[in-house]
Structure 1
Amino acid sequence: MSSGATEGSALRTLRVLEAVARTGGPHRLGEIAADTGIAKPSTHRILSGLSGAGYVVSDGDGAYGLGPRAYALSATIASAEDTGGDTVLRRFQSEVQQTVHVALRSGDHAIYVRKVDSPGPYRMASRIGGVLPLHCTAIGKAVLAHLPADERAPLLRDLTARTERTTTDPAVLEQELARVRADGCALDDEENEPTIRCLAAPMLDRAGRPVGGVSISTITFQTPKEALLAHADRLVETAALLAPLYT
């Protein structure tokens, strides 16, 4: 393939991504094709590729919106800027004095799109764009708990143990997810990484579907579980404030 063809393909993909990102979305295929001037079959192929990579998501009814990798890329580019979401997250971090994250669901995992570090001497290894499993992380369990049962069931098969505390029995995890729905928050108690304990609340769209979550991450030998759980109400409030930015 010539360099000109490669450049043309790349620019067409960017035009489609820009059209998806325009306000007033999600946008339907015909609308995106008309906006970009690209034929519908080509637009559909580009959207399929972007969807497979996590840059766009379909609402299941033929309309497309930005996906978690697009938000992660945006967060990386704008990391030095103070957006409304950053202000909310940084204010929350200043209250809890722990590392806080925002992650969005992408299929059978989630992707970090925001992170504000704790002021303490220890730094979490997490990074914007990093991938996290659903079944053994606080954000992941917050997402799973609010998915429809038929959509959740396939995600609970063949669960992998990340630590000796990871729940790998789907029936046991289902019981925990029921408690998450009742309590409003999910806990990862060293289930994904030793010495790391996290609490998360889901970010829900207008239909009540989970798009991701907000979490507080702590070092177990520094912060007692009770101190972490004490932030649950404010965590739920913060997730509700941030949700409209990602839906």
Structure 2
Amino acid sequence: MDSQTGGRGGRSSLAGNATDKALNLLEAASTPGYPHRLGDIAAAAGVPKASAHRIMTNLVATGFLASDGQGGYGPGPRVRALAARITQGCEEDQVMRAELEVLSRRIGHTVHMGVRTGDVVTLLVKVSGPNAVQDSSRVGMQLPLHTTAIGKCVLAGLADEELTALVGRLGLPARTENSLTELAALHADLANVRERGFALDDEENEPGVRCLAVPVRDAKGAVIGAVNVSTITFLETREALLGWADAVRTTAEGLHGLLG
């Protein structure tokens, strides 16, 4: 799994009110690889640069962002403290990790729990398998919706008009030669996801990596993310991956309602 490198493709339409803008800027400034430049943060958040500078100056003053003094920004002490309070001893995190550890031991491969955050998937939990060769995923990584198995689970839960609007805003950029870049092809793939109850990423996001994911739902039944198993293609066959669908489904069903 390779990190999403581009901007948010039309996120400006979602910038919204002052609170939305501040949160989008905070999220963009805190993505891995910081410190980030003001212009890059503003573009990723879909906020005009002048407004971004004004808002980020306040976020630095209040400790939510930190400035390196050379035009770069990253998460500040208040964000780090908030993250620590949320994750340390969090019962939901402990349950997710415990369930994924059981799944990983059972199938002998890396597994993840990821959720939709805006226009991307964010990985919340990763449990690495025993193989020496691993994919490039990490906790906190943001990934496209249309090229990942987790993302396809999310997209399969959307109404057609919502999917069409999202694709119109973001496009379907290729990540590999196997990526689905046409809306009709994506619609057909998502129909398969709904029918069989799981999604496949067949080297569509990262060459040499094949994934299977099963949706995770909130308490109201809406798809919020998915559990996936990630395999290296030269170490495991597609048929073997498909054979673990029921095991992944059992884990995913055990997490329904955990995150809201």
TM-score (norm 2): 0.66
Is the 2:219–2:256 Cα contact (8 Å) retained in structure 1? Answer: no
Does residue 98 of the first structure (1) align with residue 104 of the second (2)?
A: no
Corresponding residue for residue 122 of structure 2: 111
Which of 241, 247, 253 lines up with 1:240 in the alignment?
A: 253
Deviation at 1:54, TM superposition (A): 5.8
Q: State the alpha-carbon separation in 2 of the partners of residues 196 and 76 from structure 1.
A: 31
Does residue 167 of the first structure (1) align with residue 167 of the second (2)?
A: no
Which of 149, 153, 165 lines up with 2:160 in the alignment?
A: 149
After TM superposition, the structure 1 = structure 2 runs for residues 36-55 of structure 1, keeping only pairs within 5 Å, are 46=19, 49-50=22-23, 53=26
* Range with bigger deviation, 147-156 or 46-55: 46-55
Corresponding residue for residue 45 of structure 2: none
Q: State the alpha-carbon separation in 2 of the partners of residues 189 and 206 from structure 1.
A: 30
SS at 1:175 equivalent: helix
Q: State the alpha-carbon separation in 1 of the partners of residues 146 and 230 from structure 2.
A: 17
In structure 1, give the amino acid aligned to 2:139: I
Deviation at 1:205, TM superposition (A): 1.7
Structure 1: which 5+ residue stretches go unaligned? 1-43, 56-68
Cα 1:111–1:73 change in 2 (3 A) is farther
**Greater relative CO (CA pairs within 8 A, separation 6+):** 2
CA RMSD of aligned residues (A): 2.9
Q: State the alpha-carbon separation in 1 of the partners of residues 179 and 128 from structure 2.
A: 25
Q: State the alpha-carbon separation in 2 of the partners of residues 75 and 156 from structure 1.
A: 36
Tell me the matched-pair count.
Answer: 190
Deviation at 1:48, TM superposition (A): 6.4
Which of 186, 189, 198 lines up with 1:176 in the alignment?
A: 189
Does residue 129 of the first structure (1) align with residue 102 of the second (2)?
A: no
Deviation at 1:78, TM superposition (A): 3.8
Q: State the alpha-carbon separation in 2 of the partners of residues 201 and 150 from structure 1.
A: 23
Q: State the alpha-carbon separation in 2 of the partners of residues 89 and 79 from structure 1.
A: 17
Work out the percentage of aligned pairs sharing the same amino acid.
Answer: 41
